[in-house]
Amino acid sequence: MSIFVDEKTKVAVQGLTGSQGRFHGLRNRAYGTKVVAGVTPGKGGSEVEGIPVYDTIDEAVAAQGVDATFVAVPPRAAPAAILQAAEAGVPLVVCITEHIPAKDEAYVAAKLQRDFPKTRLIGPNCPGLISPGKCNIGITAGDIALPGGPVGIVSRSGTLTYQALHELSQQGVGQTTCVGIGGDPVPGTTFVDVLEAFEADSETRAVMMIGEIGGEAEELAAEYIKTKMSKPVVAYIAGQTAPTGRKMGHAGAIVSGSKGTAKGKMEALAAAGVIVAENPTRAGELMVEIVRSLP
């Protein structure tokens, strides 16, 4: 199976008439994703290469039965777009927008948790998710993914997400779903959320997890893996040479004193029984070895 999306998922692109929304939305449709609507205020009644555009997400949901939205709008508009989708009852929102202020992300996360617990947000500032051969929402290139499982991938890093997909596919190892949760300080979906879904998925038999410095998400994941995960996990932590106190790439990737270090995360994961790789290429090699040893 896959997690969160499948071949039946109906997707609306919020921002379809913009350059990024159009490019990636049409690319997702070309992959086979059921992109059924676009949303741009003031552009209702138009279309983008046969995809009808609505003024509001409510109208798109009413007309097309939308299951998920792809938010590809500027930072100032993204928080409202996410909440409008939640208010419309959309169960999955994927937001690729970067540079959203942390205070806005915190507000959105808190409001979703309090008022719209049935809506899952993936992102912001993420590549999205892909269930190979079924559905691709976001900016991941579909041709680097391989259908058929048995590996689930979850990553904070977009670039390393692509590398993990490509290296496994090159070795003939398919993926059930690959989820890029994003590297901002307040992600809508955490490592633990995705690990729980992979643990419950009968076709996911092993998991690759890619973390990075900053925060405690990987340590929380280690605790979950230690106490509740039955499937083998291979992990890589980016930022092993990052200097203390300097933000590296993602807004959430900052080490403060002894907190959030790559060393601490790697030790916590190893103590939980995770196979920790020293570099991303080795992580792929280790996962291939595990898959080939599965009964």
The answer to whether position 251 is within a domain reads: yes
- Over range 241-249, report the average pLDDT: 53
Q: Any idea what the CATH number is for the domain that residue 63 is in? A: 3.40.50.720
| Mean pLDDT in residue range 219-248 | 84
Catalytic residue among 24, 99, 166, 250: 250
The residue assigned the tokens 């937001």 is: 95
Q: Give the DSSP H or E segment for 155.
A: strand 150-155
Of the pLDDT bands very low, low, confident and very high (cuts 50, 70, 90), residue 233 is very high
243 has a pLDDT exceeding 70: no
Listing from the earlier edge strand, what are the strands of the sheet with 275-276? Answer: 135-138, 128-131, 174-180, 150-155, 206-212, 233-238, 275-276
Residues 226 and 147 in one domain: yes
In-domain check, residue 28: yes
Domain that holds residue 59: 10-122
Answer yes or no: is 221 within a domain.
yes
Pairing mode of beta strands 174-180, 135-138? unpaired
166 is catalytic: no
* 277: in domain: yes
Same structural domain, 150 and 102: no
* pTM given for the model: 0.93
In a domain, 2, yes or no: no
| pLDDT of 251 strictly over 50 | no
Sort 196 into a burial class: Cβ within 10 Å, 0-12 / 13-18 / 19+: middle
73 and 150: one domain? no
Question: Are residue 98 and residue 188 in the same domain, yes or no?
Answer: no
Q: Are 278 and 177 in a shared domain?
A: yes
Count of domains forming the chain: 2
- Asked if residue 280 and residue 152 are part of one domain, the reply reads yes
pLDDT value at position 185? 86
Do 241 and 272 fall into the same domain? yes
Domain finish residue from 71, 90, 122: 122
pLDDT at 254 over 60: no
CATH code, domain with 154: 3.40.50.261
Helix (H, G, I), strand (E, B) or coil at 208: strand
Identify the helix (H) or strand (E) that includes residue 19: helix 19-31
What is the predicted pLDDT for the residue at 224?
98
Residues 275 and 164 in one domain: yes
Beta pairing partners, 52 = 47
Which pLDDT tens digit goes with each residue over 117-159? 999 999 999 999 999 999 999 999 999 999 998 999 999 988 9
* pLDDT higher than 90, residue 213: no
In a domain, 3, yes or no: no
Based on the fold, state whether residues 181 and 271 are members of the same structural domain: yes
Please give the single-letter amino acid code of residue 112. L
Task: Indicate whether 113 and 152 sit together in one domain.
Answer: no
Q: Which H or E run includes 14?
A: strand 10-14
Half-sphere exposure of 27 (CA within 13 A, CB side): 16
Average pLDDT of the residues in 29-35? 98
Q: Are residues 118 and 167 in the same domain?
A: no
Looking at 122, 149, 169, the residue that finishes a domain is: 122
Per residue in 105-122, pLDDT (tens digit) is: 999 999 999 999 999 999
Asked if residue 105 belongs to a domain, the reply is: yes
Question: What is the side-by-side strand order in the sheet with 47-48?
Answer: 47-48, 51-54, 34-39, 10-14, 68-71, 92-95, 120-122
In the listed set 122, 157, 191, which residue is the last one of a domain according to the structure? 122
Decide if pLDDT at 8 tops 80.
Answer: yes
Map residue 7 onto helix, strand or coil: coil
Inside any domain, residue 281: yes
On whether both 112 and 219 belong to a single domain, the answer is: no
Digit-coded pLDDT (tens) for 42-69: 999 999 999 999 999 999 999 999 999 9
Could you please report the per-residue DSSP string of 110-134? HHHHHH-TTPEEE-SSS-EEEETTT
Both tokens of 136, joined, read 């691709």
- The C-alpha angle with vertex 52 and arms to 10 and 179, in degrees rounded to 5, equals 35
